[in-house]
Amino acid sequence: MNILERSQVAQQIFNEWHGQPLIWGSFDCANLASRLVQIITGKNPIADWPAYGSEQQAFKAIKAMGFKSLQDAVTEHATPLDGPLFAIASDIVAIKSKFDRMPALGVCLGPDAVLCFYSDVHESGEMIPNTARARRLDMQFATAAWRVG
């Protein structure tokens, strides 16, 4: 894929997922990354995973599929990059998260931007729940990256 095609895929992912609240097993970072793989390859890499409804159950599903970690599951379907600094549009990025057992996954939208699930506080002081949104990616919080296709 050339960079224009990769940018178009990133835009498609953004259009489909932006604003989607976190729902474990349906709308979470594994499903976000899986959707990216599906758009590019036509295959849903988590179609056969056991159902899960929490972070703990997601970790058990990863183990049940024979993977040691979420990163190992991603590596099964995407090529690891030498580091997150090499990520371009439509790459998968692992981001440090509040979850003890695994990082969050996001989709690189372009230089220093990622679509991922996160909570925030609005300027009005209102809490914004864990929702898929674009954010600037501070590379100190990125731990790995993969290229699909």
Over the stretch 60-69, which tens digit does the pLDDT of each residue have?
Answer: 999 999 999 9
What is the spatial order of strands in the sheet that 113-121 belongs to? 79-80, 142-147, 92-95, 104-110, 113-121, 127-136
CA torsion 138→115→58→79, rounded to 10°?
A: -80
Residue 68, classified by CB atoms within 10 Å of its CB into exposed (0-12), middle (13-18) or buried (19+), is exposed
- 134/137 Cα distance (integer angstroms): 9
Q: What is the Cβ-side half-sphere exposure of residue 27, based on CA atoms within 13 angstroms?
A: 17
Specify the CATH superfamily of domain 3-147.
Answer: endopeptidase domain like (from Nostoc punctiforme) (3.90.1720.10)
Instruction: Give pLDDT tens digits for 93-112.
Output: 999 876 656 788 999 999 88
**Can you tell me the mean pLDDT for 60-81?**
94
- Sign of the Cα pseudo-torsion (57, 31, 136, 122, in order): negative
Average pLDDT, the chain: 90
